Every structure is written in C-alpha cells, then in structure tokens.
Structure 1
Amino acid sequence: MEPERGTPEYWARIRPDAPAVIHGDTVMTYREWNDKADRVAKGLAALGLGQGDRLGIRFRLGIEWFVIQRALQKLGVPQVAVNWKLTPDEAFYIIADSGARGLACNDADVTGWDRPDVGLLITVGQSADAPGVRYEDLLDTPVTEPRFGPLRPNLVLYTSGTTGAPRGVPPLDRSTIKDVERLMRYTASVAAVPPRPDSCVTLLTLPVHHGAGPKEAADTCAEGGTVVVLDPYDAEEALRLIDRHKVQVWSTVPTMLLRIQNLPGHVLDRYDLSSLTALSTGAAAVPQSLKEWLVDRLGEGVLWEAYGASEAGMISYARPEYQLTKPGTSGIPYEGVDIAIVDEHWNRLPPGEAGEIAVNTPVVISSYLGRDKLDEDAVKDGFYRTGDIGHLDEDGFLFITDRIKDMIVAGGVNIYPAEIEKILVQHPAVLDAAVIGIPQDDFGEQPMAFVVADPAAEPSEKDLLAFLDGRLASYKRPRRFAFVEELPVSPMGKVQKHVLRAPYWKGRERRV
C-alpha cells in the first residue's frame, strides 16, 4: 500500500531524516515518528482499541502527543480533547459524556486517574509499578506491517453553553457532506491561511485541547515541515526559538504577543525575527495598538488574524494588508462561508448595522455529541448563531464588537460563568452569585464574581477561593470578588449582567 501524499508515512519515505518535531534538545525525524506511531498503534490495538472507539487525550505539548495522536489516526480512533488544567471531576465528566474508552495523559502524577471509571489509562514517563499502561512499553511493541491513516485532526472538542454543562462537538463525518466540492474549497482556503513556505518551520505554542493547536501541527506536517514545540510558554524563549530555528510561521493568541510587546527593548533587540513570514493570531480580541506595534516591528506583510467557532469551524480571516487599512476587522469569509448579521428573528441586517453573527460553513454541526438535533434558536437553514455581535461593512469585512453569550475569553481560553456560579452557590454562606468578564490588559478578560452572601456568615474572598480549590480549575477561578446585597434582575427574574459589566467596560473600543 502506498502512503497518501502529505502524511507522515509519505514523508518518512521521501524525507526520512528530516526533522518533524523539535522539543528542547530532542529532535524526532519523520522516520522515527512513523515507526513509533506504528508501534503504539499496534500496542493499542492489542489492548482492544479500534474503529468505533474514542480515547481521551489530556496532554501538555510534547513529542509523545505527536506519536499517540498519530497512532490513533492510524487506528481511526477519534481523540476526545481534555484540557490538562481541568480537575479530575471535570475531566471524568468529559470522558463519561463522550463515551471514551479511556484516557492518555502526560501528567507527572497519575494516581488521581487510577479509578475504574477512567477505563484504559495510558501514561507517559511513569515507573513500572505506576497504574495504567506505559507509553514507553507500547514503544516496545514489535511491528510487522506498516499502518496508514489520513493526517487530519479527528477531535471531539468540548464547549459549554449558558447552562455551563460542557458538550462535545463531534468530528466531521465526511459521509454526511452533500456538497463535497464546497467542503474541498473551504478546506483548501482554511489550510492556506496563513500561507506556508515549502518544508516550513513552525513554532507551536497553542494547546492541543483546542482545535487550533492540532490544526497547526497537521498543516505543517502535511508539507513535510518542522514543528518547534514550546511549553510552558515564555515570551523571551519564544523569541529565542524563532531566532535559533529560523521559524517562519507562528499561530498564537494575543496574550502571548502582549507579553512579547512588554519585554524591555534591549531584550527584543537581542533576537533576529526576520525569518518570520507569517504570524497569525485570534481566539480573543486583538487590540489595534498591538497590531500596529507588530506591523512596525515585523513589517507590513506578516500579521494575519483568524476568527472561528467550535460549532462552525473557521469563519473569517484578515490578511496583512488590512491590519491597518481596516482597523478592528476580523476579515472576510473563507471560501464556502456565508456570514449574516441577523436580528432576534433571523432577519438579515444591512451593512453597518450591528446584530448577531450567524454563519453558514460546510462544517456547521447539527447536534452536540449524544444530544438532540439543535433547534432553530441555534441553527436555521444551515446558519449557526455564534453568540457574538458584530457588523459587516460595505466591502463585506466583519467587525466583532460585543458578545451575546456570557462566555469569558481569557488569554484565548474560554471560561463559562454559569459553571463558576454553579459551584460558588454550593458554598453554605453564598446565597447567589453572578460572574462576568472584566478587562485585563494581559489576558483580554478575567472573571469577576459578584456574590450575595449570608449576612450572618460573611465569607471572605480567601474563604471562597479555598472552597473553589479542587472543585474548579485554577484558570476558571474569579480574579476579583465583589460582595453585594442583591444582583440586578429583569422583571422576569434574570440577572442583568450587562448592568454589572457596564462600569468596567465603559470607554472601551470593544467589549469582548
């Protein structure tokens, strides 16, 4: 069997000694990658994993993730993305809800995963007496025949709505696509942003529990390029890696770029960034001042921006030439995407008028994993309501100005207030709670909790943070608290979060 062009098997044959992944001082070639993935795939198959199964993946960036996820692609097993910052209870919910057969993780301490409801446990870097099956032992599996598989992220991504209960976004089932030509045009358009030189060198700093990180890795490896991995993120180390490895493409989030902007001038001048041909950012609001600084620092042809949603895929992109001429834009639609600005009754609004952003892409979901079909409040005639407010200008460029949903985006990571509120009100001294996002220069937004407390108990901020410890991942915890006598509510009794937000966002050019 001949390998499909653009897969690691293909490059293992064409460029076997070319570096596929670099992490620190460790280099994995395409030959080594393919050999390790074959061994792990056979070892997992021997454990009963195969077509029709799913496996949870809870990983920090590292070479082992590349091997295991490629092994799963060879087996045709979708990956259920599990944020490594989640508490065990939060992670167990995702594993159970998705129907995953088990969990692969590179946690330093895996004792918390040694419980029957995890199922198959795959570990990295553990001793021989540790629970689960060691990745290192899977690498010893003898291989007699090569395995093949398409190189595309096959992910179940978990997202939350206003209920705060995470729901799985299933991977695309290509057999259900009616307009294959449209899908192909769309896929090619998304893959071309940002453009990549042949055998390019990419810096990967995005996590692999979101769609963007695996997509970035796949797009680079499809062209036989090299992925340079950095985790944990450090602004100066990112510059050092760009300089050392002559990185050409980097997709990142505004928080990471803001940390670079805040470095002292003499530190910035220490590194040569001229190898960068494309720097792409998104997942959160990008301050225009940051865009201008990046253009001044890197030149006018480097900065790209992209906008997407888990339920609808990538939606729009802004080329470098529009970063200054169309300030604040999130760009134009990808091929095969239709963007509509609608009112509450799905009526299209004219250019310049703000409303909810609704999108029709070839990959809009019809339902969440294991849930009923989405009703017309969410999807109608192929259009998905994003929950964001924006407008289109006369030239068809999208501008995002506000958010209908209460989701908070901190450093490119989604945080769902209802999830925080649900746990806060479990505290015996908390009568009610509302969480909003307030501006934070480094992360874009941060959660703030308004708490109605029992006057007889008077819990402190320290008390509430201690209560949240172990119940909620650290990045979701409120960074500020306000103790109030009551929350503002509408005549229907719904908390009016816009009233809570107003003082904190006053005078801001964007409220997302």
Structure 2
Amino acid sequence: MDPEHGTTEYWAGVQPDKPAVICGDAVMTYREWNERADRVAEGLAALGLRQGDRLGMRFRLSIEWFVIQRALQKLGVAQVAVNWRLTPEEAMYIVRDSGARGLACDDEDPAGWGASDVGLLVTVGQAAGGPGARYEDLVTTPVVEHRFGPLRPSLVLYTSGTTGAPRGVPPVAPTDAKHAERLARYGATVAGVPPYPGHAVTLMTLPVHHGAGNLSATTTCAVGGTVVVLDPYDAEEAIRLIDRHKVQVWVAVPTMLLRIKSLPEEVLDRYDLSSLTALTTGAAPVPHSLKEWIIGRLGDDLLWEQYGASEVGMISFTPPEYQLTKPGTSGLPYEGVEIAIVDEDWNRLPAGETGEIAISSPVVIDHYLGDDVLEEHVLKDGFFRTGDVGHLDGDGFLYVTDRIKDMIVAGGVNIYPAEIEKVLLQHPAVADIAVIGVPQDDFGEQPMAYIVTKPSAKVTEEELVEFLGTRLASYKRPRKFAFIDELPVSPMGKILKRELRAPHWKGRARNV
C-alpha cells in the first residue's frame, strides 16, 4: 500500500530527516514522527481502539500531540477536541456526549480522570504506576503492522447554542461522488488560503482544540514543511521564533497580533520578520488600525483574513489586496460556498440590505452528535443560519456587522453566555441573570453579567468570582458585573440582551 501524498508516511519516505515539528529545543523529523505514531497506534490497538471509535484529545501544543493524533489517523479513530482549559466536569460532558472511548491528555495531574470513569486514559509525562496508559510506554510498543492514514484528520469539534450545552459537530462524511468532488474542490481552495510555499516553515500558536490550529498543522504537513510550536503564547517569543527559524506562514487571532503591536519599538527592531510570506488572522473582528499597522510594518502582500463557523466550515477570505480597499469586509466565499442574506422567513435579501447570514457549503452539518436532523428554522435547502448579521456588497464581498446569537468572541475563543448563566443561577442569591459581550481592546470582547438578586439577598462581585472558580473555565468567567433590579424583557418574556448591549457598543461600527 502506498501512502497518500502529503501524509506523514509519505514524507517519512521522501525526506525522512527533514524536521517536521520543533518545540523549544526538541526537534522531531518526519521519520521519527512516523515511527513513533506507528508504535503508539500499535499500543492503542492492543488496548482495544478500533476504526470508527472516537477518543478525546485534551492537549497543549506539544510534540506528543502530533504523534498521538497521527496514530489515531492511522487507526481510523476520530479525535474529539477537548479544550485543556475546561473544568473536569465540562470536559467529561464532552467525552460522554461524543461517545468517546476515553481521553488522551497531557494534564500535569491526571489522577482525577481515573476517578471519573473516563474510559481509556492516555497520559503524557507521568511516572510509572499512575492511572491509565502512559504515552512513554505506548511509544516503545514493537510494531507488528506499518499503518497508513489519510492526510486530513477525522475531527469532532464542540460548539454551543442557546441551550448552553456544548454540541458536537460530526466529522465530514461524503455520501456520493458528486458531493465528494465538491468537497475535494472546497478543501483544495481552503488549504490554498493563504498559499503555503513548498516545505513551508510555519509558526503554530493556535490551540489544537481549535479547527484553525488543526488546519495549520495539516496544511504544513501536506507541503512537507516544518511546524514551529509556541505555547504558552508570548509576543516577543513569537517574533523571536519567526526570526530564528525564518518562519513563512503564521495563523494568529487578532489578540496575538495586538500584543506584538504593543511591544516597544526597540524590541520590535531586534527581530527580522522579512521571511513571512503570509500572515492570516480571523476568529474575531480585526481592528482596521491593526491592519494598517501590519501592512505598514510588514508590507501590503501578506495579510489574509478568514471567516468561518464550526457547523459550516470556512466561509470566506480576504486577500491582501482588499485589506484596505474593502475596509470591514470578511471577504469573498471559498469555492463551493454560497452565502445568502435572509430575513426571518428565509427570503433572500438583495445586495446592501442587512439580514442573517446563511451558508451552504460542502461541510454544512444537518445534525449535531446525538441529535435529530436540524429543524427548518436553522437549516433549509442546504443553508445553515449562522446567527451572524451582515450584508453583501455589489461585488459579492461579505460584511459581518452584528450577531443574532448571544455568543461572545474573546481573543478568538467562543464563549457561550448560556453556560455562564446556568452556573451563576446555582448561586443561592441569584434570581435572574443575563450575560453579554462588551468591548475589550485586547480581546475584542469580554463577558459581563447583569445580576438580579433574590429579595433580601446580598452578594458581592468577589463572592460570585469565587463561586465560579471551580465551576467554570477561567476564560469564560465574567470580568464585569452589574447588579440591577430587573432585566429588560419583551412582551413574550424574552430577555432583551440588545438593550443591555447597546450602551456598551454605542458609536462603534460593529456590534461584534
């Protein structure tokens, strides 16, 4: 059996000694990557993992993640992305809801998972005798069978809606040749934006529970390139690595770039960033002033912007030549994607008119894991309502201006108010609550909670912060609280979050 072009197995044969992953002082070649993944796959197979299974993956950026995810691809096992910042309770919900056989993680202390009935547990960096199966033991397993896997991973991402319960987006599964052809064309155009040079050196700073982080790693492998890993993120370290390794491609959320922009000039001047050929950003609104700074400092031919959603995949992109000539745009659709601006009754609106953004793409879902087919108010004729508000101009460029759904985007990370509200309502002093996103210069948005207390009950902001401490991941916790007598509601009793948001976003071009 010949390996698929662009896979780890392919490059292990063509350029075995080429560095595939650099993490600090550690370097893993393509030969080492493939050999380690073969051994780990053998070990996981002996533990009962089979094609069609799913396994949770809770990791910081590391060489071990690259090895284990490749082993899963060799076995035909889907990866269930689990944010390492989630509390154990939040993470266990995803593992159970997805039907995963267990969890692989690089937690400093994984002992709690052994008591959580997580199933198959794979640990990294643990001493012998601890819970689960150690990566360090799996990677020494004698290889009985050399395995080959597809280039692109089978990946389950979790998103949330108005219910507050995270929902799994199933892996893409083409059902017929026509769809498979459309999917292939779509995949090729997404992988080509931005263009990765052959054997590209890329900087990877996005987490692996994020679709864009996985895509960056996969695309680098496809061209036989080298991934330079940075975690935790540090602005000066990022540009030092770009200089040291002559990085060509970097995908970053706006917050990361804003932190570089904030560095003193004398620090910026220490590093040569001329090797960069493509800098891509997205996942949150990109300030026009940031675009101007990047173009002024790095040139007008390398900044790209992307817009997408877990339920429909990548939607649109803005090439460098339109960054300043089409200010505020989220770009043109990828091949195979159709964008419709619709009203409440699914009527299409003409160019220039504002409505909800609905998307048809080759990877649009028709259900969440464990749920029935989506109802017509969400999905109709292959178009999925994104919950974002915007318009198309006469040239077909998309502009995202608001959000129907309540989701907050902070530093490129999605935060769902309903999850926060559900936890805060468990506090004995809280009668009602509404969480909204308010502007924050570094992260774009941050959560703010409007609290209505029960009669005669008193609670302080500090007490609520302490209450959330072990119940909610730190990045989800509100940074601001306001105590009010009652929440604004419609005649039907629906909380009018727009009224709460309006004062905070007044005078801004965008409400997201």
TM bucket normalised to smaller: over 0.9
**Matched letter for residue 180 of structure 2:** V
Could you tell me how far apart the structure 1 residues matched to 2:6 and 2:127 are?
36
Q: Which position in structure 1 is the counterpart of 2:144?
A: 144
Could you tell me how far apart the structure 1 residues matched to 2:151 and 2:115 are?
33
Could you tell me how far apart the structure 2 residues matched to 1:138 and 1:284 are?
39
The alpha-carbon deviation at position 140 of structure 1 amounts to 0.9
2:185 is the counterpart of 1:170: no
The alpha-carbon deviation at position 111 of structure 1 amounts to 1.3
Deviations 1:414-454 (A, max 9, x none): 00001100111110001111000000000000000000013
Could you tell me how far apart the structure 2 residues matched to 1:46 and 1:245 are?
39
Could you tell me how far apart the structure 2 residues matched to 1:35 and 1:92 are?
31
**Matched letter for residue 344 of structure 1:** E
Deviations 1:353-391 (A, max 9, x none): 111000110110010011000011111001111100010
Could you tell me how far apart the structure 2 residues matched to 1:492 and 1:177 are?
47
Q: Which position in structure 2 is the counterpart of 1:341?
A: 341
Q: Which position in structure 1 is the counterpart of 2:387?
A: 387
The alpha-carbon deviation at position 285 of structure 1 amounts to 0.5
Q: Which position in structure 2 is the counterpart of 1:73?
A: 73
**Matched letter for residue 127 of structure 2:** S
The alpha-carbon deviation at position 182 of structure 1 amounts to 1.6
Q: Which position in structure 1 is the counterpart of 2:299?
A: 299
Question: Secondary structure at 2:289's aligned position in 1?
Answer: helix
The runs of 5 or more residues in structure 2 that have no matched partner are: none
Q: Which position in structure 1 is the counterpart of 2:43?
A: 43
The alpha-carbon deviation at position 153 of structure 1 amounts to 2.4
Deviations 1:234-289 (A, max 9, x none): 00000000000000000110010011111111111111000000000000001111
**Matched letter for residue 43 of structure 2:** G
**Matched letter for residue 66 of structure 2:** F
Q: Give the conservation status (yes or no) of the 8 Å contact 1:153–1:215.
A: no
Q: Which position in structure 2 is the counterpart of 1:248?
A: 248
Q: How does 1:45-444 map to 2 (within 5 A)?
A: 45-115=45-115, 117-175=117-175, 178-444=178-444
Deviations 1:149-196 (A, max 9, x none): 101021111100001011100110123564322222111110100001
Could you tell me how far apart the structure 2 residues matched to 1:319 and 1:427 are?
48
The alpha-carbon deviation at position 3 of structure 1 amounts to 1.4
Could you tell me how far apart the structure 1 residues matched to 2:97 and 2:178 are?
29
Could you tell me how far apart the structure 2 residues matched to 1:20 and 1:274 are?
22
Could you tell me how far apart the structure 2 residues matched to 1:142 and 1:253 are?
41
TM-score, normalization by structure 1: 0.99
Question: Secondary structure at 1:321's aligned position in 2?
Answer: helix
Greater shift, 55-64 or 1-10, is seen at 1-10
Question: Secondary structure at 1:161's aligned position in 2?
Answer: coil
**Matched letter for residue 186 of structure 1:** Y
Could you tell me how far apart the structure 2 residues matched to 1:357 and 1:174 are?
24
The alpha-carbon deviation at position 146 of structure 1 amounts to 1.1
**Matched letter for residue 205 of structure 1:** T
Could you tell me how far apart the structure 2 residues matched to 1:31 and 1:92 are?
35
Q: Which position in structure 1 is the counterpart of 2:499?
A: 499
Question: Secondary structure at 1:325's aligned position in 2?
Answer: coil
Q: Give the conservation status (yes or no) of the 8 Å contact 2:42–2:144.
A: no
The structure-2 alpha-carbon separation of the partners of 1:511 and 1:177, relative to structure 1 and needing over 3 Å to count, comes to farther
Q: Give the conservation status (yes or no) of the 8 Å contact 2:42–2:145.
A: no
The alpha-carbon deviation at position 116 of structure 1 amounts to 5.0
Deviations 1:278-335 (A, max 9, x none): 0000000011111111111110000000000100000000000000110111110000
**Matched letter for residue 79 of structure 1:** Q
**Matched letter for residue 57 of structure 2:** I
RMSD of the alignment, in Å? 0.8
Q: Give the conservation status (yes or no) of the 8 Å contact 1:23–1:230.
A: yes
Question: Secondary structure at 1:179's aligned position in 2?
Answer: helix
**Runs of 4+, deviation exceeding 6 Å:** none
Question: Secondary structure at 1:259's aligned position in 2?
Answer: helix
Question: Secondary structure at 2:330's aligned position in 1?
Answer: strand
Q: Which position in structure 1 is the counterpart of 2:472?
A: 472
Q: How does 1:452-491 map to 2 (within 5 A)?
A: 452-491=452-491
Question: Secondary structure at 1:118's aligned position in 2?
Answer: coil
Could you tell me how far apart the structure 2 residues matched to 1:31 and 1:216 are?
20
The alpha-carbon deviation at position 473 of structure 1 amounts to 0.6
Q: Give the conservation status (yes or no) of the 8 Å contact 1:342–1:358.
A: yes
The runs of 5 or more residues in structure 1 that have no matched partner are: none
Question: Secondary structure at 1:199's aligned position in 2?
Answer: coil
**Matched letter for residue 497 of structure 1:** K
Question: Secondary structure at 2:112's aligned position in 1?
Answer: helix
Deviations 1:62-114 (A, max 9, x none): 00000000000000000011000000000111111001000000011111111
**Matched letter for residue 388 of structure 1:** D
Deviations 1:100-156 (A, max 9, x none): 000000011111111252000000000102111100000110013311010102111
Could you tell me how far apart the structure 2 residues matched to 1:177 and 1:378 are?
26
Could you tell me how far apart the structure 2 residues matched to 1:183 and 1:92 are?
32
Could you tell me how far apart the structure 2 residues matched to 1:379 and 1:246 are?
45
Could you tell me how far apart the structure 2 residues matched to 1:117 and 1:309 are?
32
**Matched letter for residue 39 of structure 1:** R
Could you tell me how far apart the structure 2 residues matched to 1:180 and 1:221 are?
22
**Matched letter for residue 51 of structure 1:** Q
Could you tell me how far apart the structure 2 residues matched to 1:333 and 1:54 are?
32
The structure-2 alpha-carbon separation of the partners of 1:177 and 1:422, relative to structure 1 and needing over 3 Å to count, comes to farther
**Matched letter for residue 28 of structure 1:** M
The alpha-carbon deviation at position 469 of structure 1 amounts to 1.1
Greater shift, 455-464 or 72-81, is seen at 455-464
Q: Give the conservation status (yes or no) of the 8 Å contact 1:364–1:384.
A: yes
Could you tell me how far apart the structure 2 residues matched to 1:50 and 1:491 are?
54
Deviations 1:197-256 (A, max 9, x none): 110000000000011111100000011000000000000000000000000000110010
